[in-house]
Amino acid sequence: MAKVLEKAEQVEMLLNGDEAVAWAIYHVEPDVVAAYPITPQTIIVERFSEFVADGLVRTEFISVESEHSALSAVVGAAAAGGRAFTATASQGLALMNEILHIAAALRLPIVMAIATRALSAPINIHPDHGDVMNSREAGWIIMFAENAQEVYDNVIQAFKIAEDHRVLLPVMVAFDGFVISHTAEKVYVFKDVNVVREKFLGGPRKVPKIKLMGKEVELALRPLSHTPVPLTIGPLDLTDFYFEHKLQHMDALYRAPQVIKEVNEEYAKLTGRKYGNGLVEKYKLDDAEIALVAMGATVGTLRYVVDVMRDEGYKVGLLKIRTYRPFPTEDVIEALKDKKVVGVFDRAAPNGAVGAPLFLDIRSALYDLEKRPIVVDYVYGLGGRDAPPELLEDAVEELYRIMKGEIKPFRFKYLGVRE
C-alpha cells in the first residue's frame, strides 16, 4: 500500500448521484472514457463530456454506437495499459454481457458505474437491482453505494482497488437509479484535483511486469518497437490451460477483500469518511436479536427504521453489504451468527430460485453454523416501487413475531405489492 496521506481539504457541493460520479471521474482523470447514453446513467457522461470539452481533463472521450462497443473500447484501452472508465444501466449492462466476462478474465482494471434500473419487459426506467444481479457472476468486483457521497467515494476507491497488482480486476460501482442518480445531496469533494490523481492513485496507472521468454515485459499491448518480446492478451485457451487460468481469476477475487479493506482505511484517513471495514457496515447490530440486511439506497431508510423500532423496544440492528462480489462470507457470519432472526431485503426478483440473490448468499453463508438464525427474504421495490418506512416497520414487526414463534418463517415474500 502507498504511504498514508494526511487529511485533504474538501469543498461542499450540491450534487446528484450521477454528477457525483462525474466529479469523481474528473478527479481521477482516466486516459479513456467510452460511453453510450441510457437512462438513468446519461447525466454521468454528459457532465464528464463537459469537463473534456472545457479542457479541464486530458481524457480521450469516445462516443460509441452501443453499450457493447463502450465496454469493448475501454477493454482495448485497459489492455494497452490505460486507465479506463465507462457507465451504463439496465438493458445497456445486459448488452455488455459478453464483454463483461472478457474484461474480468483478462484481468483488466476497468471501473464502471451502474445507475441500477429494472430490466425490460415491460419497459421501466426506474430502479431495482435486477440489472446488476444479471451480471453478478461475470467475475467483477461489485460495490453498492447508499447515497451520493458514497458514490463519489466508491468510484475513486474503485480505481485504486482495481489497479492493485494483487487484484487487477474490473469494478462495478452500483447505486439506485433516480433515488440516488437524480436526487441532489450534499457531497464533499476534493478541492485539489491532484489529491486523487497524484497522491491517492500515485500518478498514471502502473502496469505490472512479467517474465516472458527470459525477459521482463509490461503486461500490456505495446508496439513491437516498444517491447523486447511480442505479447498477446486473450489468446485461444483450450483444455490444456483454461482451467488453470480461471483459477488465477478466482484467486484474484479472493485476494480482493484485503485490498478493499486497506483502501477503505487509507481513504478514511484522507477524507474522514469510512464505510465499515470496506466490505460490510454494521449499525446498532451488536446487541440485536433481529438483523436486517440490505444494500443500496434502502439502507438509509432502514437506519431510520432501526432507530424508530429501537425506541419502541425492538432489539433490531442493520447489516449493510457494501461489497457484494466477492461476497464477504466471513464478515457476514461474524455479524449474524448470534442473531435469532435475519430479514434480508432484496431489490431483485427470485426468478424461480429459492429466494432472491442476496438472500441466497446470506443463507448459504450461515448454513454451516451449528446454531444458525432463521433467515427470511423480503423482495421489495421492483421497478421503482417505493418502500416507505412504515412498510419496513411492518416487516420488522413480522420478524419479531417469527422470533416469538407466533408465525411460521417463510422463504420469501413480496413486500408492498398489490394482491
| pLDDT single digits (tens) 35-44 | 999 999 999 9
- Do 267 and 334 sit in the same domain of this protein? no
Please state, in angstroms and rounded to a whole number, the distance separating the CA atoms of residues 110 and 155: 11
**200 part of a folded domain:** yes
- Say if residue 332's pLDDT is above 80: yes
Contact between 21 and 151 (Cβ < 8 Å): yes
* Closest residue by Cα to residue 23 from 71, 56, 53: 56
Q: Considering the domain boundaries, does residue 168 fall inside one?
A: yes
- Boundary-marking domain end, from 271, 298, 327: 271
**CATH code, domain carrying 308:** 3.40.50.920
Q: What is the structure's pLDDT at 99? A: 98
**pLDDT of 294 strictly over 90:** yes
Whole-number pLDDT of residue 6: 83
Per the domain annotation, does 4 fall within a domain? no
- pLDDT above 50 for 168: yes
> Which residues span the domain enclosing 64?
10-205+255-271
Task: Clarify whether residues 284 and 201 are in a common domain.
Answer: no
Q: How many domains does the chain fold into? A: 2
Confidence of residue 4 (pLDDT cuts 50, 70, 90): low
Same domain, 322 and 263: no
Residues 167 and 301 grouped into a single domain? no
CATH code for the domain of 181: 3.40.50.970
**pLDDT confidence bin for 3, thresholds 50/70/90:** low
| Domain boundary residue, one of 271, 305, 320 | 271
Q: Are residues 301 and 263 in the same domain?
A: no
Shared domain for 338 and 382, answered yes or no, is yes
Do 264 and 308 belong together in one domain? no
Other Cβ atoms within 10 Å of 298 Cβ, number = 23
Indicate if the pLDDT at residue 1 is higher than 50: no
φ/ψ of 5, rounded to 5, equals -95, 155
Domain boundary among the residues 236, 271, 306 is at: 271
- Is residue 245 one of the residues assigned to a domain? no
pLDDT at 158 over 80: yes
Same domain, 326 and 262: no
pLDDT tens-place string over residues 66-86: 999 999 999 999 999 999 999
Give the pLDDT band of residue 226 (cuts 50, 70, 90): confident
Q: Is residue 3 part of a domain?
A: no
Residues 16 and 159 in one domain: yes
Residue 240 belongs to a domain: no
Q: Quote the pLDDT of residue 2.
A: 45
Instruction: Indicate if 311 and 185 belong to the same structural domain.
Output: no
How far apart CA 131 and CA 124 sit, in angstroms, is 12
Q: Are residues 30 and 178 in the same domain?
A: yes
- Using the structure block, give the residue that is written with the C-alpha cell 434480508: 344
Q: For residue 235, tell me if it sits in a domain.
A: no
Determine the average pLDDT of the residues in 264-293: 98
The pLDDT tens digits of the residues spanning 94-117 come to: 999 999 999 999 999 999 999 999
Whether 156 and 24 map to the same domain: the answer is yes
pTM: 0.97
- Burial degree of 292 (CB within 10 A; 0-12, 13-18, 19+): buried
Q: List, edge to edge, every strand of the sheet that includes 341-346.
A: 280-283, 316-321, 290-294, 341-346, 374-380, 412-415
Task: Answer whether residue 233 is part of any domain.
Answer: no
Q: Please check the confidence at residue 64 and state whether its pLDDT lies above 90.
A: yes
Q: What is the mean pLDDT of residues 28-34?
A: 98
